[in-house]
């Protein structure tokens, strides 16, 4: 619960931003924690030095962002997990800034080998058992792109889970979502035993608790696939440029 503020409310900047900053302070200092219940509106408005109308506008924004949730007849609570919010923020930032998709893949190349290294040290027995099942699922579905890819994505997800780093997990989830279309197309073109064996080597390194071997196996797997992603995104760019050029010519004909 926020501490009672002394003196007049801060007047530097719009009231909305002022209240948002006060909420940030509450989260930063752990006065409000994941799962905790917010004080009643009247009490919060008095402590933040604003009207209930201003407070409600801030609460609407926090609810929209997925930071808080109202429970009918019970009050308003801070979400227990905000990982989805981080993923959405990263995803939207990449889309809005028109980042080259190969930058997203290079981010994966920079992060995922480290996650594999951590997983080799941290993975619990149940994580490894689930990884084995996903490898078996990949092997059983060679040549079946959707089924193979579902197991392959789950295998990589288990490595992220086993590494147990929420910040890296959020970044990886956002990057993986952006690359999914390319991943399906590339997998369709090369669902073969060589790709499966790259994943088997990663699993073997994690099973034997060899962090450096896990790092090297994941880095090799991603480096091998990098040329396929690069070719895919180059092709997509050419197709988009061609469509834009055709649309421009058609528009000139109509208005000419």
Residues of the chain where predicted confidence (pLDDT) is lower than 70: 1-13, 82-87, 91, 94-95, 98-99, 181-191, 237, 239-256
Give me 18's structure tokens: 């002022």
- The DSSP H or E segment spanning 122 is helix 101-122
pLDDT at 10: 42
Predicted TM-score (pTM) of the model is 0.66
Read off the tokens for 222.
Answer: 């991603």
Phi first, then psi: give them for residue 78, nearest 5 degrees: -75, 135
**pLDDT at 8 (0 to 100):** 41
Q: What pLDDT score does 141 carry?
A: 93
Backbone angles phi, psi at 5, to 5 degrees: -85, 140
The pLDDT value recorded for residue 217 is: 98
Residue 117 confidence (pLDDT):
98
Per-residue three-class SS string for 206-234: HHCCCHHHHHHHHHHHHHHHHHHHHHHHH
- pLDDT reported for residue 82: 67
What string of H, E and C letters represents the secondary structure of 150-169? Answer: HHHHHHHHHHHHHHCCHHHH
Q: What is the CATH number of domain 15-78?
A: 1.10.10.10
Given this model, what pLDDT does residue 179 score? 74
Which CATH number applies to 84-231: 1.20.120.530, 3.40.190.10, 3.30.930.10, 3.20.20.70? 1.20.120.530
Reported as type and span, the H/E element at residue 196 is: helix 193-207
Query: What residue spans define the domains of the chain?
Result: 15-78, 84-231
């Amino acid at each position: 619960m926020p501490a009672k503020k002394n003196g007049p409310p801060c007047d530097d900047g719009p009231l909305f931003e002022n209240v948002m900053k006060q909420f940030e302070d509450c989260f930063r200092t752990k006065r409000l924690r994941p799962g905790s219940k917010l004080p009643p509106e009247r009490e919060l408005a008095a402590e933040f030095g604003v009207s209930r109308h201003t407070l409600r506008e801030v609460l609407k924004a926090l609810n929209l962002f997925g930071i808080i949730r109202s429970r009918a007849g019970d009050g308003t609570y801070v979400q227990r997990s905000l990982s989805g919010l981080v993923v959405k923020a990263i995803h939207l930032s990449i889309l809005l800034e028109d980042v080259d998709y190969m930058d997203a893949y290079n981010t994966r190349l920079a992060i995922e080998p480290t996650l594999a290294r951590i997983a080799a040290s941290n993975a619990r027995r149940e994580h490894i058992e689930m990884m084995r099942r996903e490898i078996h699922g990949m092997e059983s579905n060679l040549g079946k792109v959707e089924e193979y890819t579902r197991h392959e994505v789950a295998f990589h997800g288990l490595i992220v889970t086993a590494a147990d780093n929420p910040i890296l997990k959020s970044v990886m989830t956002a990057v993986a979502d952006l690359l999914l279309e390319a991943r399906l197309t590339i997998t369709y073109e090369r669902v073969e035993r060589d790709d499966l064996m790259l994943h088997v080597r990663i699993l073997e390194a994690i099973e034997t608790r060899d962090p450096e071997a896990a790092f090297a196996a994941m880095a090799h797997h991603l480096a091998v696939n990098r040329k396929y992603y690069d070719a895919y995104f180059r092709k997509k760019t050419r197709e988009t440029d061609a469509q834009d050029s055709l649309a421009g010519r058609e528009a000139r004909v109509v208005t000419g």
